[in-house]
Structure 1
Amino acid sequence: MSSACSWWVYLVRAANGALYCGMSNDPQRRFAQHCRGQGARFFHASPAQALVYVEACADKSAALRRERAIKALSKAAKERLVRDFTARPAQDYSESLSPPAEHTMHELILHHYDASPFAEKTRLLLGYKQLSWRSVEIPRIMPKPDLLALTGGYRKTPVLQVGADIYCDSALIARRLEAEKATPALFPEGQEFVVASLAQWADSTLFLLAVSLAFQPELLASRLQGLPAAAQAFIDDRRALFAGGAARLPAAEHSLQHWPTLMQRLELQLQREDGEFLCGRPSLADFAVAHPLWFLAGAPQTAPLLAAYPAVNAWLARVLAFGHGSPRAMSSADALAVAREATPAPLPERAGQWPAGFQAGQSVHVAACDYGVDPVQGELLHVDDECLILAREDDRAGRVHVHLPRLGFVLRAQ
């Protein structure tokens, strides 16, 4: 068994078709105990028949949380977990659920701050995947010198670091985490387009609507009461963040009128869905829709906007119950040292269609289209369907590869 993790959550099917969920540091040994009648009382009525699902967890406490989450699922949702697991190519489960060998040398390092909605989205993704990670607290407003030493200009939150590879934007971070640990999936097979498109809508339209509601002038004054200097600095920073990009915050008056329509649509979807999540089973779409609602629910001034929607609140509680995985604090100086001492991972073998007029080795800059349009400059190394990879040098971080999404960003020759 792989040494990458020591605790597992598993499902065993009984002879009568029922599914039993448990946790163990050796699922095969525990399954054998169930078969001999030396395990759970669950199998006294119907004997254990097959070990049908296993999932790696970061540690024992993570396994306990994941066990509780799976036990809370409906029978149909558990069966979907089994189908997804058994549909994958046959191989030793300890290998199939461990991170790829090229990634085991470096920890996942998340640069974030606690109140950021997109950081909360990413923390929940780490919890859903039950991953261990290092937590680097970054400033809420500029300047962010240690972060920019890694990204070369990208200032938005969060940023994921894996050795000397830097991943910008939570949508791309989600794909990196999917590569780190394939199960449970963020992009369920057959739903990839629907999930990615709904997540993109939530990260843009729904998020901007939530920000408009949270930052109504009278509410913002209440939230930042007693901190006039900090309040003005925050307002100035966010004004600069949105300068020059295509994104525009809706007027608060418009947002207040539109919000009930969107929430009622979500309420009906959740009431009628065959399952406990937006697409039946958990996916990236749930976390993308959840983080703007989490942002509003966390403040007494805006929490009432969710009060009239019981199915939405129950679903949001299920999403938040995935937790944040297993974080450990790290200083920004230590994160820079990790990048400086590491070598970027080999480039992906599969490439996509290159934009016309661009080629490998060209000096370029890449910037977001919506907001936070500060460009990242570097040498263009790789283009695939989802990602652009630039190489850059920094006196403090050394040579790093910066990964940026292709969708929502623009590439220009320098």
Structure 2
Amino acid sequence: MMPRPLLKNTFNLTYRKIPILAIGREIYCDTSLVAEALEHFFPESEGYRTLYPLAADGRSYRPMIRGFASYWTDRPLFRVACGLMPASIWASAFGRDREGLIGHSIDAEKLGRKIPENLSKLDLQLSMLEPLFANDSGDEGFVFSTESPSLADISLFYELKWGEEIAKGKYTEGITQGETKDGELEGAAPVLNAQRYPGLWRWYKMMEVYFENLPSTEETCKNFEEVVKKMRESPALGTRSLLLPTPRSTHAELDKKTGCVEGALVSIAPDDTGRDDPTLGTLIAMSPEEVVIKPQKLDPPATVDVRIHFPRLGFVVRPSPASKL
């Protein structure tokens, strides 16, 4: 379904993907920017955990960790994991929905026949990862030798865990809205196991225990109107706080040449899927890594006056002629 009705009607946000983060009346899209916003507004210096702990050598590998999560786990590894989904999922309402997202038809039977090929591709990914964790002592460690899991560990574990379980047929009933039942398939076991990749497997099981032992802090709000009410009552960020910190400000000369200047109507869309359903809005602020817009008014109008933040990594920002969705 394009776009998501809840986001479109509440915020006039036509962006399709999840998750999104709301801090007051500021909406942050895409995991890469959500992580940076959480790190900025809930810093380690105030007692919160960090996604970027220091490495054993005392250095911060934050740029490398961000790149690992965005360019490796969220791209080639994620695509491989999607390729392990049973054909029954692609033949359901889920597959029909994804056809609209990616812009072309899906052959469920063909994708089913490609699972062995995608298992081989997963084996490639695991082979590249194994040296990170292989050592003679058997000591447990994290991806960048940090004292606790970083965003790199979290993103890698999530992709492998989701890929392993979806390949087995887990979640099938929920994903297909009841069209098919959960299965008990072989899944990724031929390549993701303790014998083939002992170091990676040891880390994987350690991460399972780590997450199982974390205290639950999630609160579910059953009344969405209460959330909307709190958002309306929240103060807006000031001009100096609107953008997340970056080493340099936006390049004004290049912005002028591309037409992405304050006050311009711009179109923002992912550079992979969902490009046919961009979010339109007035450009409020921009940095080398982030763009902030006031969304274009749609029918019905938004119920909350928000500003929407997108990362520039993985998204295309361009001037757009006025239009309505």
Same fold (TM > 0.5): yes
Q: How many residues end up aligned between the 2 structures?
A: 259
Is the aligned partner of 1:239 residue 2:141? no
* Equivalent residues in 2 for 1:237-386, closer than 5 Å: 237-243=97-103, 252-272=115-135, 276-281=141-146, 282-299=149-166, 300=168, 301=185, 302-304=187-189, 305-308=191-194, 309-320=197-208, 321-322=210-211, 323=214, 325-330=216-221, 331-348=223-240, 351-354=249-252, 355=255, 356=257, 357-373=259-275, 374-386=277-289
Structure 2 residue identity aligned to 1:190? S
> SS of the residue aligned with 2:268?
strand
For the 8 Å contact 1:146–1:332, the answer to whether it is kept is: no
1:261, CA displacement in angstroms? 2.2
> How far has the Cα of 1:151 moved from its partner?
5.7
2:182 counterpart residue number:
none
CA distances 1:307-351 after superposition (whole Å, capped 9, x unpaired): 243332332233342347501111433333333333432234563
- Counterpart of 2:81 in structure 1 is 210
Aligned-partner SS, 1:399: coil
User: Structure 2 CA distance, aligned partners of 1:241 and 1:204?
Assistant: 17
The one-letter amino acid of 2:20's match is V
Distance 2:231 2:278 in 1: 21
| Most deviating of 293-302 and 348-357 | 348-357
Alpha-carbon contact 2:269-2:315 (below 8 Å) kept: yes
Q: Is the 1:146–1:336 contact (alpha carbons within 8 Å) kept by the matching residues of 2?
A: no
3-state SS of 1:213 partner: coil
**Counterpart for residue 388 of structure 1:** 291
1:353 and 1:383 in contact (8 A); partners too: no
Q: Secondary structure at the match of 1:306?
A: coil
Percent identical pairs in the alignment equals: 28
Question: 2:65 — aligned with what?
Answer: 195
- TM-score under structure 1 normalisation? 0.57
The answer to which structure has the higher strand fraction is 1
Instruction: Report how far residue 253 of structure 1 moved.
Output: 4.8
8 Å Cα contact 2:77/2:159 also seen in 1: yes
Q: Structure 2 length normalisation: TM-score?
A: 0.71
Distance 2:118 2:215 in 1: 30
Question: Residues 261 and 324 from structure 1, CA distance in 2 versus in 1: closer, same or farther, beyond 3 angstroms?
Answer: farther
Change (3 A) 1:324 1:352: farther
Give unpaired runs (5+ residues) of structure 2: 105-110, 169-184, 321-325
Please say if residues 140 and 203 of structure 2, whose CA atoms lie closer than 8 Å, have aligned partners that are also in contact. no
Q: Report the Cα offset of residue 255 of structure 1.
A: 1.9
Structure 1 or 2, whichever has the larger Rg, is 1
Give the RMSD, CA atoms, in angstroms: 2.8
Task: Return closer, same or farther for 1:265/1:253 CA change in 2, 3 Å cut-off.
Answer: same
